[in-house]
Amino acid sequence: MLGWRKKRAPVRLVDDKLRHIAFIMDGNGRWAQKRGMPREFGHVNGAANFKRIVRYCGDIGIKIVTVYAFSTENWTRPQNEVNAIMKLLSEYTDMAADEMDVHNIRYRFIGDRSVLSEELIGRINRLERDSEKNELLLNIALNYGARKELVSAFNALAMQGRANITERDISEHLYTAHCPDPDLIIRTGGEIRLSNFLLWQAAYAELYFTDVLWPDLKSSDIDEAVRVFYSRKRRYGGI
């Protein structure tokens, strides 16, 4: 008899109101430390969960997912932690190259890639090129900082000798020029801040903060964030 099984709430399929979710994947280090393990162990489990969460977003009809994987400030961490994260990213690009068509993911990396290892830059470039025809857009923010992004947009516009710069000009010179702004930003790990993530693009995003540490974030937590999103009234300054 299957009747004992607790019925799951039906998964809410999203519509055009919620096309783009961005995640600040925070709390990996604390997740590991709670288990008496090195922080790197948290990043390994965080990376595994990231794959699950992206697939789940695709399953419920999200068209664009952006994840904050490594910030311009994260280089200040101990070298062994930085190395571990870069190794995971490199392994991830390898796996992604094999599986991108299975999950129908189109990859874009946002951030300054020029300082990464030549090997990683090559993998990233190939992944973007080879996944171009897929549908679920996944932006991975790597060596990303919103202020750096804005400064390079302003410099690019200045180099063109442009006067009377518009909002549209700025948006078109950001790393995210290829996609609409996020509708919903979810931060795990309990901190209530943006930590230099998508400062321009977040102007009218709905913000959702949860204490759940990133490696523990489950599909039901996404369902809850989606439910909260649909319960809010986005007024954009109107009434």
Using only C-alpha atoms, what is the Rg of the chain? Answer: 19
Residue keyed to tokens 């399929």: 13
26 is catalytic: yes
Stretch that binds ligand IPE, among 66-74, 123-131, 145-153, 228-236 (CB under 6 A): 66-74
Instruction: For residue 213, give the nearest of 42, 83, 65 by alpha carbon.
Output: 42
Q: What is the DSSP letter of 239?
A: -
Among positions 14, 18, 20, 29, the unique one binding ligand IPE when judged by CB under 6 A: 29
Query: For residue 156, which amino acid is it?
Result: A
How many Å apart are CA 19 and CA 198, to the nearest integer?
A: 16
Question: Contacts with ligand IPE in 130-159 (CB under 6 A)?
Answer: none
Q: Min. distance of Cβ 27 from ligand IPE in angstroms?
A: 4
Whether 164 sits among the annotated catalytic residues: the reply is no
Q: Please give the span between the terminal C-alpha atoms of the chain, in angstroms, as a whole number.
A: 52
How many whole angstroms separate alpha carbon 206 and alpha carbon 83? 33
Among 45, 66, 71, 93, the residue binding ligand IPE under the rule CB under 6 A is 71
- If you ran DSSP here, which 8-state letter would residue 151 be given? H
Binders of ligand IPE among residues 73 to 112 (CB under 6 A) are 74, 85
Question: Quick check: helix, strand or coil at residue 71?
Answer: strand
**Contact pick of 68, 107, 109, 208 for ligand IPE (by CB under 6 A):** 68
Q: Name the active-site residue from 74, 130, 196, 223.
A: 74
Closest CB 74 distance from ligand IPE, rounded Å: 5
What does the binding site for ligand IPE look like in residue numbers (CB under 6 A)?
Answer: 24-30, 68-71, 74, 85, 189, 191, 193, 195
Residues of this chain that interact with Mg ion (CB under 5 A) are: 26
